Amino acid sequence: MNFRSDNVTGVAPEILAAIAAVNQGTMPSYGADPVTERLQQRFAALFAHEVAVFPVATGTAANALALAALTPPWGVIYCHEASHVNTDECGAPEFYAGGAKLMGLPGADAKIAPEAIEARLGDRGIVHHAQPACISITEATEAGTLYRPEEIAQLSAVAQRHGLGLHMDGSRFANAVAALGCAPADLTWRAGVDVLSFGATKNGALAAEAVIFFAPAKAGDLAFRRKRSGHLFSKMRFLSAQLEAYLADDLWLRNARHANRMARRLADGVAGLPGVRLRHPTEANEIFVELPEPVIAALDRAGVGFYRWGGEASSCLRLVTAFDTRAEDVDAVVALIRHSAA
Amino acid sequence: MNFRSDNVTGVAPEILAAIAAVNQGTMPSYGADPVTERLQQRFAALFAHEVAVFPVATGTAANALALAALTPPWGVIYCHEASHVNTDECGAPEFYAGGAKLMGLPGADAKIAPEAIEARLGDRGIVHHAQPACISITEATEAGTLYRPEEIAQLSAVAQRHGLGLHMDGSRFANAVAALGCAPADLTWRAGVDVLSFGATKNGALAAEAVIFFAPAKAGDLAFRRKRSGHLFSKMRFLSAQLEAYLADDLWLRNARHANRMARRLADGVAGLPGVRLRHPTEANEIFVELPEPVIAALDRAGVGFYRWGGEASSCLRLVTAFDTRAEDVDAVVALIRHSAA
Amino acid sequence: MNFRSDNVTGVAPEILAAIAAVNQGTMPSYGADPVTERLQQRFAALFAHEVAVFPVATGTAANALALAALTPPWGVIYCHEASHVNTDECGAPEFYAGGAKLMGLPGADAKIAPEAIEARLGDRGIVHHAQPACISITEATEAGTLYRPEEIAQLSAVAQRHGLGLHMDGSRFANAVAALGCAPADLTWRAGVDVLSFGATKNGALAAEAVIFFAPAKAGDLAFRRKRSGHLFSKMRFLSAQLEAYLADDLWLRNARHANRMARRLADGVAGLPGVRLRHPTEANEIFVELPEPVIAALDRAGVGFYRWGGEASSCLRLVTAFDTRAEDVDAVVALIRHSAA
Amino acid sequence: MNFRSDNVTGVAPEILAAIAAVNQGTMPSYGADPVTERLQQRFAALFAHEVAVFPVATGTAANALALAALTPPWGVIYCHEASHVNTDECGAPEFYAGGAKLMGLPGADAKIAPEAIEARLGDRGIVHHAQPACISITEATEAGTLYRPEEIAQLSAVAQRHGLGLHMDGSRFANAVAALGCAPADLTWRAGVDVLSFGATKNGALAAEAVIFFAPAKAGDLAFRRKRSGHLFSKMRFLSAQLEAYLADDLWLRNARHANRMARRLADGVAGLPGVRLRHPTEANEIFVELPEPVIAALDRAGVGFYRWGGEASSCLRLVTAFDTRAEDVDAVVALIRHSAA
């Protein structure tokens, strides 16, 4: 019963099968293989828009490459102060973008408000100041919440007014699409997103993400950046096959819907218990719940995996559900919390 | 019949099976899993020395991380002018090492002579000059040749005399060990190598390499460098499992011996034919053969994959054999060359 | 009557004379000249401590070089959110430190409290997070206020407890020393400062600052960093002569005392007027004063140079006095404000 | 009698006077002063072309900024293997250009032939290879020789054919123009140069160079790069005044003509002596002369400053003349060589 993260999971059977299936004979390396070529069209169809797709193996690589494409070394990246790019990538965006500056902004439920950005945008063109370059948002957010399409559009309006790029860290993009029931396009280019880090690893892939540009012409240099950072796989077919299987038969949405349902079940199961408080609305596959220490101790004794959110002294747990979380495990955790909270 | 590179191959069945085998339930992410932990001991045993092992997915990542650990931004990396780090990584070492300088040296059969380095070492401590930092050699080399342990020791003597690190790009390390019949230690720490990029991808892995430090204390920052470059896998067990299977039952050596034998068979088959010249000794799994254009055209028509070494106008082909190269394919190519050369 | 900054001034006559005086014949270049050599002893005497001194021409260079010496590329630099390094150097520290992260902290009167740093220090050793590396404080601060020696010592205690370096941006160090009446040592190494950006340009030099390490052994690479960034002057004697003259006969303190007195005179002259509010205590040579717009308009019409602090819409003016500010100009400004505020 | 370099000299009296002359009252800082503004027109007139001019204090800064403007981090800079940017700037171009690659090419008399570049240009667009970005030539060269306008035009033709920028390191540009008797335009934009590092320091300035773009639109980001590297002077007028005085009344050419004449006098004086060989043609203000060791020892005993070219074991001396070299000193050196060589 490990709810510590969705990356403690293994690989979805369909994806493992796809890896095995492409293991046939030789293929051109470095992405010139037919699997990778098919992927371009597959993503274009998914988003109902022309795209340039760059498969990579980690979310940090996808984010750092995408942000570097939008940001000169003297640029500012506006993001939430709790965002993964700001706090959990050991400075990867700064490294890839040659020393750019992340400006972490506050905002409820890990979401940035347009005004928070506009309040920090005064310095364009003045040589003393790092220059506003792009906005990075996370969907679903690090608090397990969701930007609605119209919220993204409002951020995009700020971006357009000030000549900024708009990046979306979609390491849990599937969970967002599944929860909102909208089209992938609605959360991305239709709302003004320029570049998406499309995640698959947390939702069933072995290690596969994709940097997706909705204006392929702007992607020009990404191929060089990817190679130069060591993220161009020689046996690319095995990355691409994961993504292909992920999209096939809506596996990505089926997996995400399951994870979301399990989170819902968990949240509903503990809401309203004495001493128990959900810190953020549960909108995707993460719940953040403040618990009395005896309850936490009970979970720990029972071998339940969790993450103390905000450090070792915090009594707010993050519990993450995934594509393969079992309902009985959720129910067991709920029962345990109910029992110890009583 | 694709001899273009050993990276056009798929995954060895034993390694694919190992990936499937570790796909059981949840495991701690980012390398805290038991598979990754076992790997440290496994490599220590292999090299009969304490080591610090950092699995990554690409050879470019392994090389760039290793070199960055040995080189300050103002450092000079001495390497062969034809080395992969110098010519085929789109500047990855420069990127990772913050702008260091690669000094490409000439040398027969893609090997550097100690004198070639010493001739360029005059500037230590003078602030105007980039500072000698490390030597990088490739084993097997980009010409398919091999450094003998004593040759490495001579380079190491230069390194020690001048306070330089010694890195080995071992993307085909298995082929070298198999060909020389020596212990892995003989080619590395016993000969003075500080850091090894231990390759597996070209020899049967899906995507797995390891940066191996023979003085673990010197590896200190590599964990940060790896994370910061996006090369720390969340589902690390799937990288580590590849490496574990690669070492199990000497799979790595069995695969390499086969590839080497196929190269030998190919080289022996064409040596001495009219108009045919082997440019370098065939010591591992690559042959470099100058052929008359009509012969090349015949290979092309027959659908044989090859690489024109030195550009599109070159009539020197690189033919690479791999763990799964079939003897009948080698024989067919030999027959084709014999027939068209006649 | 230009109070916009202390860098709108020219060169103090003593310093210009020193430049002319060393313009005699040839001298070894790049700092091997006797003027530069004397400087090391001169600064050692000034600080009553062994030092390593690196003259450079700009404050941004001094700060960026100093911070890069204390911070790995994956490091965090703790500074005030309004500090010059964070807001006015177009990302120079990030550039020099290879992509490090500045963490701007809040704090009254542009000063950081030890607790503000400790609250952000939780992540040491965890590979996902940029690593705490150093603290940078400004003396005098960007609000014209001063850290007392004991305040610096408290920050230093945090630094020592957590293995951080302590850097002081002393672009107005002279104003601080003059105002506090303490020894230069009291504000620096005795209070735990590791590296000082010692400013002279704003206080009478043409273009001269010095990076000063109080533990010379830690300065090792700075010579390479300086050269590599283009900040090693070939005709170094002309930089060093400025610094020598700056220290001679306490010119630096005499200039700073004058500037401080003029600021005091200005602050006292306007304090308590209707609609007039001093935003920060006036402790050095900068006053920050909120004024009614008609008063600002009157100053503007009269040709008084000032800076709207916080952007074009702000009605808080920064007025900076300098080594050559004339008392009659101060009095004229005071009279103007008094008259228009009435 | 110091012939070690032209940077062992002081400041030309006219330039020192200009520095003193602009030391009048306050002026807007960071280049918004009238002296700096005049400079733009002054250089436009000098080159008979629109220009964007960025004064900086060192040649290394000028070169590194110029090259960074022409080169992405994955770019290749083609230069002579003995060029200052390649050997004497401690990797500054690599630092500024974010890890770009300098490709040092051979060539007689420190000049690059167009064919040498074309032979290394095969890799455009292939993601594995660093991408051809620009050519950098030095005028006068590091061997004291000169490119003729038509030679530059031939290099420019290569550049244009392959989409490369063309940079000129003109730290001794004045000596070249004076020697060739051509217009500044003839050696620069008319021959296809995109960006010039215009040197003044070696020819009489205190510390002043200018980065000059002949297509101002392409200079866009240089202002940010300059600030971010700490090379934007707050009291910019003192940089600009040096350049203004340098150009006034053809001081730059008068100084350079004198230096060139002194080099001619020295070269003519020793040519043909027994055991004496001029290694390169003496075309500007540097002579490279191979001398018997006893002659070198005699020079050393007499206190003549020189530089052993190629290291401490070399018996080829570089002797550099400057704007203030005295004819009697040249004659004394000639006499000494004649005497000891006899």
Q: Which residues of D265-300 are buried (b: 16+ CB within 10 A; e: fewer)?
A: bbbebbeebeebebbbebbbbbbbbbbbeebbebbe
* Residues B210 and B285 placed together within one structural domain of the fold: no
End-to-end CA distance of chain C: 22
Please give the pLDDT value at position B1. Answer: 87
Which of B 238-267 lie inside 8 A of A, CB atoms? 238-239
Instruction: Identify residue A192 by its one-letter amino acid code.
Output: G
Neighbours of A160 (CB within 10 A): 11
Question: Which member of A29, A224, A230 has the closest CB to residue B8?
Answer: A29
Query: Considering the entire predicted model, what is its pTM?
Result: 0.97
Which of A 9-38 lie inside 8 A of B, CB atoms? 9-11, 16, 19-20, 22-30
Judge: A72–D221 Cβ closer than 8 Å, yes or no.
yes
Whether residue D61 is predicted with pLDDT greater than 90 in this model: the reply is: yes
A6-17: per-residue pLDDT in tens?
Answer: 999 999 999 999
Question: Which member of D122, D130, D311 has the closest CB to residue B90?
Answer: D130
Cβ–Cβ < 8 Å for D231, C207: no
Of B250, B269, B303, at which residue does a domain stop? B250
**Domain CATH number, residue A314:** 3.90.1150.10
Nearest CA in chain A to B205: A235
B143-191: per-residue pLDDT in tens?
Answer: 999 999 999 999 999 999 999 999 999 999 999 999 999 999 999 999 9
In a domain, A3, yes or no: no
Q: What is the mean pLDDT of residues C206-220?
A: 94
Cβ–Cβ < 8 Å for C117, C107: no
Question: Any CB–CB contact under 8 A between D219 and chain A?
Answer: no
Q: How far is B197 from chain A (nearest CA, A)?
A: 13
Cβ–Cβ < 8 Å for B338, B331: no
* Residues D312 and D274 placed together within one structural domain of the fold: yes
Q: From CA D314, how far away is CA D301, in angstroms rounded?
A: 18
In a domain, A296, yes or no: yes
Judge: A16–B11 Cβ closer than 8 Å, yes or no.
no
Alpha-carbon distances of B128 from A214, B74, C231, rounded to whole Å: 46, 10, 12
Please give the pLDDT value at position C340. Answer: 94
Judge: D10–C28 Cβ closer than 8 Å, yes or no.
no
* Residues B189 and B292 placed together within one structural domain of the fold: no
C5-58: per-residue pLDDT in tens?
Answer: 999 999 999 999 999 999 999 999 999 999 999 999 999 999 999 999 999 999
What 3-state DSSP class applies to A89? coil
* Residues B64 and B164 placed together within one structural domain of the fold: yes
The neighbours of chain A, by the rule of 3 or more Cβ pairs under 8 Å, are B, C, D
* Residues B238 and B259 placed together within one structural domain of the fold: no
The secondary structure element, H or E, covering residue D229 is none
Decide the pairing of beta strands B165-170 and B209-213.
Answer: unpaired
What is the CA A235 to chain-centroid distance, rounded? 25
Please give the pLDDT value at position A63. Answer: 98
In a domain, B82, yes or no: yes
Size of interface B-D (CB pairs under 8 A): 60
* Residues C92 and C174 placed together within one structural domain of the fold: yes
In a domain, A2, yes or no: no
In a domain, C4, yes or no: no
Q: From CA B212, how far away is CA B55, in angstroms rounded?
A: 9
Judge: C234–D9 Cβ closer than 8 Å, yes or no.
no
The neighbours of chain B, by the rule of 3 or more Cβ pairs under 8 Å, are A, C, D
- Average pLDDT score, chain C: 97
Question: Which member of C131, C223, C224 has the closest CB to residue B224?
Answer: C131
Of the candidates B146, B152, B170, the one whose C-alpha atom is nearest the C-alpha of residue B59 is: B170
The neighbours of chain D, by the rule of 3 or more Cβ pairs under 8 Å, are A, B, C
Q: From CA C173, how far away is CA C247, in angstroms rounded?
A: 13
Q: From CA B94, how far away is CA B299, in angstroms rounded?
A: 38
Please give the pLDDT value at position B295. Answer: 96
Decide the pairing of beta strands A286-290 and A316-320.
Answer: antiparallel
Q: How far is D221 from chain A (nearest CA, A)?
A: 9
* Residues B25 and B79 placed together within one structural domain of the fold: yes
Instruction: Identify residue C303 by its one-letter amino acid code.
Output: G
Q: Which residues contact D189 (CB under 8 A, 6 or more apart)?
A: D47, D49, D214
Question: Which member of D2, D23, D89 has the closest CB to residue C26?
Answer: D2
Q: What percent of chain A has pLDDT over 70?
A: 100
In a domain, A137, yes or no: yes
C283-340: per-residue pLDDT in tens?
Answer: 999 999 999 999 999 999 999 999 999 888 899 999 999 999 999 999 999 999 999 9
What 3-state DSSP class applies to A134? strand
Neighbours of B341 (CB within 10 A): 16
Q: What percent of chain B has pLDDT over 70?
A: 100
Band the pLDDT of D312: cuts 50, 70, 90.
confident
Which residues does chain C have within 8 Å of residue B224's beta carbon, measured at their own beta carbons?
72, 74, 127, 131
* Residues A336 and A215 placed together within one structural domain of the fold: no
Q: How far is C87 from chain A (nearest CA, A)?
A: 6
* Residues D273 and D128 placed together within one structural domain of the fold: no
Cβ–Cβ < 8 Å for D243, D210: yes
Low-confidence ranges of chain A (pLDDT < 50): none
Low-confidence ranges of chain B (pLDDT < 50): none
* Residues C204 and C301 placed together within one structural domain of the fold: no
* Residues C291 and C155 placed together within one structural domain of the fold: no
Question: Any CB–CB contact under 8 A between C220 and chain D?
Answer: no
ipTM value of the model? Answer: 0.97
Judge: B127–C30 Cβ closer than 8 Å, yes or no.
yes
Whether residue D53 is predicted with pLDDT greater than 90 in this model: the reply is: yes
Whether residue D1 is predicted with pLDDT greater than 90 in this model: the reply is: no
Which residues does chain C have within 8 Å of residue D17's beta carbon, measured at their own beta carbons?
none
Please give the pLDDT value at position D294. Answer: 95
Q: How far is C332 from chain D (nearest CA, A)?
A: 17
Please give the pLDDT value at position B310. Answer: 86
Question: Any CB–CB contact under 8 A between C90 and chain A?
Answer: yes
Q: From CA B171, how far away is CA A105, in angstroms rounded?
A: 44
Q: How far is A63 from chain C (nearest CA, A)?
A: 14
In a domain, D163, yes or no: yes
The domain tally of chain B equals 2
In a domain, B7, yes or no: no
Decide the pairing of beta strands C75-80 and C101-105.
Answer: parallel
**Domain CATH number, residue B32:** 3.40.640.10
* Residues A50 and A111 placed together within one structural domain of the fold: yes
Whether residue C282 is predicted with pLDDT greater than 90 in this model: the reply is: yes
Please give the pLDDT value at position D218. Answer: 85
Question: Which member of D25, D60, D207 has the closest CB to residue C235?
Answer: D207
If you count them, how many residues does chain C have? 342
Of C250, C277, C302, at which residue does a domain stop? C250
Question: Any CB–CB contact under 8 A between A272 and chain B?
Answer: no
- Which of D224, D225, D229, D231 to mutate: most A Cβ within 10 Å? D224
Decide the pairing of beta strands B209-213 and B277-278.
Answer: unpaired
Of A250, A274, A293, at which residue does a domain stop? A250
D82-92: per-residue pLDDT in tens?
Answer: 999 999 999 99
* Residue-range definition of the domain harbouring residue B215: 13-250
Please give the pLDDT value at position D228. Answer: 98
A296-317: per-residue pLDDT in tens?
Answer: 999 999 999 999 998 888 999 9
Please give the pLDDT value at position A122. Answer: 75
The angle at the Cα of A76, spanning D234 to A63, to the nearest 5 degrees, equals 145
What 3-state DSSP class applies to D59? helix
